[in-house]
Structure 1
Amino acid sequence: MREALRGLTTRGRSFLAAGAAAVLSALILGEKDLLRVAILLAVLPLLAAVYVGRSRYKLACTRSLEPHRVPVGSNARIVLRLQNMSRLPTGTLLLEDRLPYALGSRPRVVLERLGAQQASSVAYTVRADVRGRYEVGPLVVRLTDPFGLCELTRAFPSVDELTVIPQVVSLPSVRLTGEYTGSGDSRARSVAVHGEDDSATREYRRGDDLRRVHWKSTARTGELMVRREEQPWESRATVVLDTRAYAHRGEGPTASFEWAVAAAASAAVHFRTAGYRVRLVTEIGVDTDATEPDGDGLLLDQLADVTASQRSDIATLVEQVRRRSDNSVIVALLGALTVAEAELLAGLRGNRTTCVAVLIDSSTWMNLTPAERVEADRAHSAAALSLQESGWRVVGVGHGDQLPSLWPQLDRGSQGFAWRAAMAETVAGGVK
């Protein structure tokens, strides 16, 4: 009751003061009618306080996000359901859901009243242009009586999380060599002199299922032979994201780092759709192997949180990738590189590993003088040439380029010697 009295509005306090003054006047003047009016003025705010205070503890609220995970630039629908659990109707309700600044202004909704045991739902939409995880809530409800004499605030403690993931774009299919690694008896078998039929058999071992006996080979060799166990080939792709802050330029959603994050998301989902087992690696400790049915969501959630780091370097990134030796396809989204850093990355190129560098020229996200542009182009081309000579396929990215149009260049036939030509032109321009 004490808290309810503190919730009296200016109107309620005025009624209470007027009632006290009228009571005093009625006693002095001996006016019974004035005393009745005075009692009415004084009791009304008290009744309103009791009414609102009772309603305050008889409300239930639930919040649902549709969906919980949205791409950058998309809308999410948030539904609030408020139920009056008491046997008395409530007064006017003012709802305010607390939101972080990135999701926009706080929505305010007015409900006139809720009857006994009645429920009502309201919905609003939010939009985020910056990826990340955002807390939605808590919900604050202001309750008031029909006369506006008392107002109390209740905050529901529940908070929901909205995950804003990078924008994923569809990529065309390309043929990558060296993309299959396998296991089992079929992995390293060779063709014997008797032909392919014998290459799929081996000697009988104790415990083998007799239904796997290959009678033709048994008759020819004089020993019991069984068919080899065939295990499916497994496609594996590693998506590497360069998170070095000094390798990227630009601010906000249009920065080169955000381009790289969105490209990593699109590449990971593309490989997952194509049937690959995808691994996501960064030099700041992210090493996610997506094998679950909701692997896409796991990868995208990781990319929603990733940030550029001032303390990361290429050597750490290379060491992180080398923790697993079964990389068959490596697609690296890289910022600006020096030749020395490109030589470190060259060590990831194995005999059976196809390495593709999507090399971002972050200097194109800056306004440079002609002399600075020549120097930046020269450094970029030199790093690209170093990677290409070590066996990497290099795809260059400038400001404004779109990943779907660049993706077909991952094919071996598109590799060419474009970077050699770019290097020659840059050097020639510098000489002039």
Structure 2
Amino acid sequence: MTVAPDIENAPTTHPPSSVRDRAATTTRFIGNRLSTLIVPVTKAVNPILATVSATGWLVAVTGVVLLAAGRALGWSELIFLGATLVAAFVIAAFFIIGRARFTVSVRLNPRRVTVGERAIGEMIVTNAAKRTSLATTFELPVGAGLAVFGVPALETGAASEELFAVPTERRAVIIAGPARSVRGDRLGLFRRSVDWTDPIELFVHPRTTRLHPTAAGLVRDLEGQVTKKITNSDMAFHALRDYVRGDDVRYVHWRSSARTGQLMVRQFEESRRSQLTIIHSSNRRYYASDDEFEMAISVTASIASQVIRDATQISVVTEGMLLRTHTVQAMLDDCCRIDGVDTDEHARMFAREATKRLPDPSVLVIVAGSQMEPADYRSIQRLFGGELTVVALRIAHGSTPRVQDVAGLQVYTIGQLTDLPKIMARAQ
């Protein structure tokens, strides 16, 4: 009697571990060999494929498809059309063959301008090859635009100078470059570009206005500002008190001690170096228009410029950015980089996070748009101690200058940049 084997309960057999190891080693070896071959080929082919435009790929693929369809269907018309497209593709490829050698420089004069001022750039192309160069098209991105120049054939060592104007109607950091040469065919099937320069920056600074040096507490002090805090050693004398063991004998007032019969020491009011902090909100929900946003930046830049010139310590903060304030130029350069943000974060929260690592200010300036409520200015003021001057500036483009009292805080409305000097003098 034959018994059928129990297939389900039969033990599972596996190849020996040595066999599996050899198979894995072989697989890795083949993979390494393939990658060794594929990577160089890919690096060599990619630059060539990159020169083919979308139109070129369409022409090539269409030509091949028509040739195949014509051969399969026996239609000479399709074969003719396919051959024509393929021939056009091949002929166009010859227009990008060859290599040119140029020395290219791009200059901007000046590199920093104020909104509305004229900025001129020049691109100088010099033929560095040993033979005459062909006529070449150069492209130069300038901000959001693109300048295109046709450089004629140049003898060895000859140069072509091209001038261009840079738009400066708005505050911005305008990137010019890189300058690139472009070669291709008339049909646009191939395009090969070579970058010859690095990008350079043009800073379009916001408009500013000059302020009086002592306006709004922008103090040029040597000893510092006196506070109400009492200390045992400083410069501003406050009063006399009885001597306590451990007091510094240098501050004993001997004349009063002789008159009263007991030791008397001086007390002082603590002095603090002037530290101005500008909190500038870039939250777009606080501004009614782009013009209002730009004017707010001009107000901030005007105040900060005067403070830096007066050698007073200053910090300028906006959403996600702490401006450099070691020089006026550095501060204005950073003002060019301020962009509006769209966030639901409350102004008080932004002010607290932005200033928690900054020195305690003696003067606080808050700059925001017309859509910020007066109560928001007051909430920012409450983040700081009472021994400081707070100047709240509400930017409302085109409005009449006025002042509004909010629980003891004066909120000044500015309608034009020219109103700022009078407002700051009044806030003093």
TM-score bin, normalised by smaller chain? 0.5 to 0.7
Contact 1:72 1:165 in 2 (8 A): yes
Question: Compared with structure 1, are the counterparts of its residues 235 and 77 closer, same or farther at alpha carbon in structure 2 (3 Å cutoff)?
Answer: farther
User: What residue number does 2:275 align with?
Assistant: 236
Structure 2 counterpart of 1:91, from 124, 134, 158: 134
User: What residue number does 1:155 align with?
Assistant: 194
Structure 2 counterpart of 1:316, from 349, 353, 360: 349
Aligned pairs for 1:277-296 within 5 A: 277-282=313-318, 284-288=319-323, 290-291=325-326, 294-296=327-329
Question: Compared with structure 1, are the counterparts of its residues 78 and 234 closer, same or farther at alpha carbon in structure 2 (3 Å cutoff)?
Answer: farther
User: What residue number does 2:148 align with?
Assistant: 108
How much does 1:88 deviate?
0.6
Inter-partner Cα distance in structure 1 for 2:293 and 2:152: 48
User: What residue number does 1:405 align with?
Assistant: 419
How much does 1:356 deviate?
0.8
How much does 1:301 deviate?
1.7
Task: Read off the aligned partner of 2:275 and give its amino acid letter.
Answer: R
Question: Compared with structure 1, are the counterparts of its residues 186 and 153 closer, same or farther at alpha carbon in structure 2 (3 Å cutoff)?
Answer: farther
Between the two proteins, the alignment pairs up a number of residues equal to 302
How much does 1:160 deviate?
2.4
SS of 1:88 mapped into structure 2: coil
Contact 1:84 1:114 in 2 (8 A): yes
Q: Does 2:161 correspond to 1:121?
A: yes
Contact 1:165 1:301 in 2 (8 A): no
User: What residue number does 1:342 align with?
Assistant: 377
Structure 1 counterpart of 2:362, from 328, 341, 350: 328
Task: Read off the aligned partner of 1:76 and give its amino acid letter.
Answer: A
Structure 1 counterpart of 2:235, from 189, 193, 205: 189
Inter-partner Cα distance in structure 1 for 2:273 and 2:109: 35
How much does 1:153 deviate?
4.6
Inter-partner Cα distance in structure 1 for 2:100 and 2:249: 78
Inter-partner Cα distance in structure 2 for 1:75 and 1:408: 30
Q: Does 2:275 correspond to 1:245?
A: no
Inter-partner Cα distance in structure 2 for 1:415 and 1:234: 20
TM-score by length of 2: 0.58
Contact 2:204 2:336 in 1 (8 A): no
Contact 2:274 2:313 in 1 (8 A): yes
Inter-partner Cα distance in structure 1 for 2:236 and 2:272: 16
RMSD between superposed Cα atoms in Å = 4.2
Contact 1:261 1:303 in 2 (8 A): no
Question: Compared with structure 1, are the counterparts of its residues 130 and 177 closer, same or farther at alpha carbon in structure 2 (3 Å cutoff)?
Answer: closer
SS of 2:333 mapped into structure 1: helix
How much does 1:249 deviate?
0.5
SS of 1:296 mapped into structure 2: helix
| Percent of aligned pairs sharing the same letter | 18
SS of 1:260 mapped into structure 2: helix
Question: Compared with structure 1, are the counterparts of its residues 314 and 347 closer, same or farther at alpha carbon in structure 2 (3 Å cutoff)?
Answer: same
Question: Compared with structure 1, are the counterparts of its residues 288 and 304 closer, same or farther at alpha carbon in structure 2 (3 Å cutoff)?
Answer: closer
Inter-partner Cα distance in structure 1 for 2:233 and 2:127: 66
Question: Compared with structure 1, are the counterparts of its residues 312 and 144 closer, same or farther at alpha carbon in structure 2 (3 Å cutoff)?
Answer: closer
How much does 1:289 deviate?
5.1
Q: Does 2:112 correspond to 1:62?
A: no
Inter-partner Cα distance in structure 2 for 1:345 and 1:261: 19
Task: Read off the aligned partner of 2:330 and give its amino acid letter.
Answer: G
Question: Compared with structure 1, are the counterparts of its residues 107 and 264 closer, same or farther at alpha carbon in structure 2 (3 Å cutoff)?
Answer: same
How much does 1:344 deviate?
0.8
Question: Compared with structure 1, are the counterparts of its residues 152 and 114 closer, same or farther at alpha carbon in structure 2 (3 Å cutoff)?
Answer: farther
How much does 1:346 deviate?
2.8
How much does 1:173 deviate?
3.9
- Residue-by-residue CA offset, 1:172-209 (whole Å, 9 max, x unaligned): 444444845749x9982355999xxxxxxx879xxxxx
Contact 1:53 1:152 in 2 (8 A): no
Question: Compared with structure 1, are the counterparts of its residues 186 and 117 closer, same or farther at alpha carbon in structure 2 (3 Å cutoff)?
Answer: farther
Structure 2 counterpart of 1:171, from 211, 216, 220: 211
User: What residue number does 1:137 align with?
Assistant: 177
Inter-partner Cα distance in structure 2 for 1:168 and 1:133: 17
How much does 1:415 deviate?
5.2
SS of 1:290 mapped into structure 2: coil
**Structure 1 or 2: more helix by fraction:** 1
Contact 2:324 2:334 in 1 (8 A): no
Inter-partner Cα distance in structure 1 for 2:383 and 2:362: 11
Inter-partner Cα distance in structure 2 for 1:288 and 1:139: 31
- Any stretches of 5+ residues in structure 2 without a counterpart? 1-44, 53-90, 226-230, 241-247, 251-270
Task: Read off the aligned partner of 2:178 and give its amino acid letter.
Answer: P
How much does 1:53 deviate?
4.5
Contact 2:381 2:390 in 1 (8 A): no
Contact 2:316 2:323 in 1 (8 A): yes
Task: Read off the aligned partner of 1:385 and give its amino acid letter.
Answer: D
Inter-partner Cα distance in structure 1 for 2:142 and 2:313: 37
User: What residue number does 1:207 align with?
Assistant: none
Question: Compared with structure 1, are the counterparts of its residues 318 and 100 closer, same or farther at alpha carbon in structure 2 (3 Å cutoff)?
Answer: closer
How much does 1:72 deviate?
2.4
Q: Which has more radius of gyration?
A: 2
Q: Does 2:75 correspond to 1:75?
A: no
Question: Compared with structure 1, are the counterparts of its residues 163 and 187 closer, same or farther at alpha carbon in structure 2 (3 Å cutoff)?
Answer: farther
SS of 1:343 mapped into structure 2: helix
